[in-house]
């Protein structure tokens, strides 16, 4: 029986290998989302009393919690004209922390189809995740053959927090736009990337690291062009391409500032966005400090201070490793800039796992570590197991002794 099942699986894999690339990518993404749905449904059976619905909810209620409720509020009511404050004048949690593109698309789908806001947001998130998987494959094919690129898409689709691609969160839409922007940059279609990047900047806060990446890329290319200007047959960027990249740099910087500027214009408070964002962390934004605070909390007063430095060294070694260097200049530069952005501005907590998704180019590096099917299968298995941990530990709600729960 085992031998027959093995032959059947081998025949199925051989048949799927003859499908066009988009069908293979779609099948991988669909299978990953089906696995995530099964994990969600199993976890929902054990969901107890919570702030949103009765215990043991159905699948649709269970996935429409946490930030999904905030996006639903923006879809239905928009953003407050005045920042809500408590009795002491401190800004309270409000919708300005959530970027507008995702809920406004949900509003359009609801208006056109008549489906509920929760369903429209879920459909957009899932479809955007599928489109993102397609674009990610195209991006990876610039740096690797079909096989490794397809395995990297499998890693991307099964990542421990990839279940967020099928819930009403803006991550999948943001990854779609980010991957599209990176793909256009690799193709040197810098002017075409401008509208994509501007939309990306209205989906989630990835505009600042993207603008930093483009600015550094421009400086590096200018330096290379100057140094190689006398080399025969050199592959320098043309003057027109450099000017186009400069235009993308300016547009990315403007896009990164767009949402805070909109919040300022709408509320009259120049710090409307930052005040709202810092409500969830409970203190003002001080660059780098939260990493040391968390390090001390986890490892003590000595090792805790060293922990952020050790993390930075390990990440640097990762970016210098053989498989990751095969990603090329642009993708490595993006990963470095995004991680630097997290180190400067992020308050590390349980939501940090979800915020690592924009580092998806590293999935290709992981696929290039070894061609062994045993290795790659073990990675997929580990990711699915960790996805169970993420959903049961963080997505399912269980009140902490001090009240509330860890956010996913």
pLDDT single digits (tens) 311-345: 999 999 999 999 999 999 999 999 999 999 999 99
Surface-to-core class of residue 395, CB atoms within 10 Å of its CB (0-12 exposed, 13-18 middle, 19+ buried) = buried
Q: Tokens 């007063």, residue?
A: 301
Classify residue 156: in a domain, yes or no. Answer: yes
> Quick check: helix, strand or coil at residue 208?
helix
Whole-angstrom distance, CA of residue 169 vs CA of residue 351 = 13
Cβ-contact 140, 148 below 8 angstroms: yes
Whole-angstrom distance, CA of residue 112 vs CA of residue 115 = 8
Per-residue confidence (pLDDT) for residue 248, from 0 to 100: 98
Per-residue confidence (pLDDT) for residue 6, from 0 to 100: 45
Task: Examine the pLDDT at 385 and tell me if it is beyond 60.
Answer: yes
Task: Examine the pLDDT at 33 and tell me if it is beyond 90.
Answer: yes
Q: Tokens 């430095």, residue?
A: 309
Could you tell me if residue 397 is left (phi over 0), alpha (psi between -120 and 50 degrees) or otherwise beta?
Answer: beta
How many domains, in total, are found in the chain? Answer: 1
pLDDT bracket for residue 231 (50, 70, 90): low
**What domain range includes position 158?**
22-227+237-280+360-395
Classify residue 408: in a domain, yes or no. Answer: no
pLDDT in tens, 172-191: 999 999 999 999 999 999 99
Per-residue confidence (pLDDT) for residue 226, from 0 to 100: 77
Q: At what angle do helices 117-140 and 146-158 cross, to 10 degrees?
A: 150
Classify residue 327: in a domain, yes or no. Answer: no
Whole-angstrom distance, CA of residue 331 vs CA of residue 144 = 13
Cβ-contact 159, 357 below 8 angstroms: yes
Task: Examine the pLDDT at 9 and tell me if it is beyond 50.
Answer: no
Per-residue confidence (pLDDT) for residue 281, from 0 to 100: 77
> Quick check: helix, strand or coil at residue 371?
coil
Classify residue 334: in a domain, yes or no. Answer: no
DSSP state of 91: B
Classify residue 351: in a domain, yes or no. Answer: no
Of 44-48, 229-233, 397-401, the one with minimum mean pLDDT is 229-233
Classify residue 180: in a domain, yes or no. Answer: yes
Per-residue confidence (pLDDT) for residue 229, from 0 to 100: 55
Q: What is the pTM of this model?
A: 0.94
Taking residues 42-46, report their average pLDDT.
96
Classify residue 35: in a domain, yes or no. Answer: yes
Give the mean pLDDT of the chain: 92
pLDDT in tens, 47-85: 999 999 899 999 999 999 999 999 999 999 999 999 999
pLDDT bracket for residue 404 (50, 70, 90): confident
Q: Tokens 């810092």, residue?
A: 278
User: How many Å separate Cα 75 from the centre of its chain?
Assistant: 21
Classify residue 125: in a domain, yes or no. Answer: yes
């Amino acid at each position: 029986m085992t031998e027959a099942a093995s032959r059947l699986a081998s025949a199925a894999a051989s048949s799927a290998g003859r499908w066009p690339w988009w069908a293979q990518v779609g099948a991988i993404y669909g299978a990953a989302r089906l696995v995530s749905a099964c994990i969600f449904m199993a976890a929902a059976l054990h969901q107890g009393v919570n702030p949103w619905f009765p215990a043991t909810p159905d699948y649709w209620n269970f996935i429409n919690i946490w930030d999904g409720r905030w996006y639903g509020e923006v879809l239905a009511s928009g953003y407050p004209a005045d920042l809500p404050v408590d009795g002491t004048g401190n800004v309270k949690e409000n919708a300005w922390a959530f970027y507008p593109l995702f809920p406004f698309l949900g509003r359009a789908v609801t208006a056109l189809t008549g489906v509920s806001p929760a369903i429209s947001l879920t459909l957009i998130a899932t479809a955007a995740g599928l489109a993102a998987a397609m674009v990610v494959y195209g991006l990876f094919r610039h740096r690797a053959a079909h096989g490794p690129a397809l395995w990297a898409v499998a890693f991307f689709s099964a990542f421990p927090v990839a279940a967020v691609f099928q819930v009403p969160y803006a991550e999948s839409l943001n990854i779609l736009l980010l991957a599209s922007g990176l793909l256009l940059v690799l193709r040197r279609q810098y002017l075409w990337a401008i509208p994509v990047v501007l939309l990306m900047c209205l989906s989630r806060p990835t505009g600042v690291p993207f603008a930093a990446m483009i600015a550094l890329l421009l400086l590096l290319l200018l330096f290379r062009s100057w140094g190689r200007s006398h080399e025969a047959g050199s592959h320098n960027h043309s003057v027109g391409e450099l000017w186009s990249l400069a235009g993308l740099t300016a547009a990315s910087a403007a896009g990164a500032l767009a949402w805070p500027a909109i919040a300022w214009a709408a509320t009259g408070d120049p710090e409307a966005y930052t005040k709202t964002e810092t409500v969830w962390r409970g203190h003002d934004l001080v660059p780098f400090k939260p990493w040391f605070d968390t390090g001390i909390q986890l490892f003590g007063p000595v090792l805790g201070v060293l922990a952020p430095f050790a993390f930075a060294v390990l990440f640097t070694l990762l970016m210098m490793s053989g498989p990751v260097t095969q990603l090329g200049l642009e993708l490595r530069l993006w990963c470095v800039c995004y991680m630097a952005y997290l180190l400067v501005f992020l308050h590390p907590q349980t939501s940090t796992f979800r915020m690592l998704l924009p580092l998806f180019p590293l999935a290709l590096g992981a696929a290039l570590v070894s061609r062994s099917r045993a290795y790659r299968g073990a990675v997929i298995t580990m990711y699915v197991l960790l996805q169970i941990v993420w959903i049961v530990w963080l997505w399912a709600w269980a009140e902490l002794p001090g009240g509330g729960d860890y956010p996913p």
